[in-house]
């Protein structure tokens, strides 16, 4: 089957592609002819993911899905959460987002956080949601490691010694919020 992935974030494509069975052909937005920004104006991950998937479905009437992800930090009352992408402003700069979180977390002893991904899929014209989460904590400062993207250099999953930015793609995919949501999505597709 063919699935359009409603994202402009190539890192997400890079993480999800190797998790999909060969029977699923992933189609990038630009290959589906969509180059404009997709609005994400809702205030939950699920509603944002569905907004992105519906945007594509309404244009193309094809099976598609979107991923909305947020980093929820306990000591910050769940922020940046659904506002993760633009936490430090419209520029969506990962470096600035990380800097803002580290400043807000400077005096915080409790550093627990959860990465959450919600996948919204429209399959055969019907909407579905799949969630994945991983608990961990926020590092005192940016760790070494250039892998991953976004907040990966400050997130250390529980039970691990290193951040997502220090892990290979395979290691991150064996633990991550996104990989867990994708696994549920694949299970659903296989059960149809
Ligand atoms: P699309 O909406 O086009 O899919 P986006 O980058 O805007 O791409 P989100 O709305 O889901 O994606 O934004 C989530 C924010 O969290 C954004 O700043 C990402 O860089 C970051 N993020 C998402 N997944 C992440 C991951 O696995 N590790 C670290 N940071 C991540």
> 3-class DSSP state for residue 61?
coil
- Give the pair of three-digit tokens for residue 49: 């993911």
Task: State pLDDT tens for residues 173-187.
Answer: 999 999 999 999 999
Average pLDDT over every residue of 150-179: 98
**Catalytic member of 67, 68, 74, 158:** 68
> 3-class DSSP state for residue 37?
coil
DSSP-assigned letters across all residues of 114-172: EEEEEEEEEETTEEEEEEEEEEEEE-SS--S---S-TTGGGEEETT-SS-GGGS-HHHH
Contact 99, 151 (CB under 8 A): no
Task: State pLDDT tens for residues 97-148.
Answer: 999 999 999 999 999 999 999 999 999 999 999 999 999 999 999 999 999 9
Q: Catalytic annotation on 68?
A: yes
Share the mean pLDDT of the chain: 97
CA 61 to ligand 1 center in whole angstroms: 25
The residue whose CA has the least distance to atom 1 of ligand 1 is 7
Q: Which of 52, 49, 9 is nearest to 131 (CA)?
A: 49
Average pLDDT over every residue of 152-168: 98
Percent of the chain with pLDDT strictly greater than 70: 100
pTM over 0.85: yes
CA 183 to ligand 1 center in whole angstroms: 18
Percent of the chain with pLDDT strictly greater than 90: 100
Ligand 1 binding pocket, CB closer than 6 Å = 7-9, 12, 40, 67-69, 84-85, 94, 97, 148-152, 164, 176, 178
Distance from C-alpha of 182 to C-alpha of 171, rounded to nearest angstrom:
15
């Amino acid at each position: 089957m063919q699935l359009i992935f409603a994202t402009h974030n190539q890192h997400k494509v890079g993480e999800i592609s190797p998790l999909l069975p060969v029977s699923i052909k992933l189609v990038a937005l630009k290959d589906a002819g969509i180059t404009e920004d997709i609005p994400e104006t809702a205030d939950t991950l699920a509603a944002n993911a569905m907004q992105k998937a519906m945007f594509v479905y309404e244009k193309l009437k094809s099976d598609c899905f979107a991923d909305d992800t947020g980093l929820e930090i306990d000591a910050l009352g769940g922020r940046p959460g659904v506002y993760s992408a633009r936490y430090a402003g419209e520029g969506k700069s990962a470096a600035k987002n990380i800097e803002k979180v580290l400043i807000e977390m400077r005096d915080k002893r409790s550093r627990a956080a959860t990465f959450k991904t919600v996948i919204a899929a429209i399959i055969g014209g019907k909407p579905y949601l799949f969630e994945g989460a991983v608990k961990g904590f926020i590092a005192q400062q940016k760790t070494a490691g250039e892998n991953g993207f976004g907040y990966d250099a400050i997130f250390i999953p529980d039970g691990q010694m290193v951040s997502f930015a220090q892990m290979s793609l395979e290691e991150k995919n064996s633990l991550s919020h996104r990989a867990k949501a994708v696994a549920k999505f694949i299970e659903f597709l296989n059960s149809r």
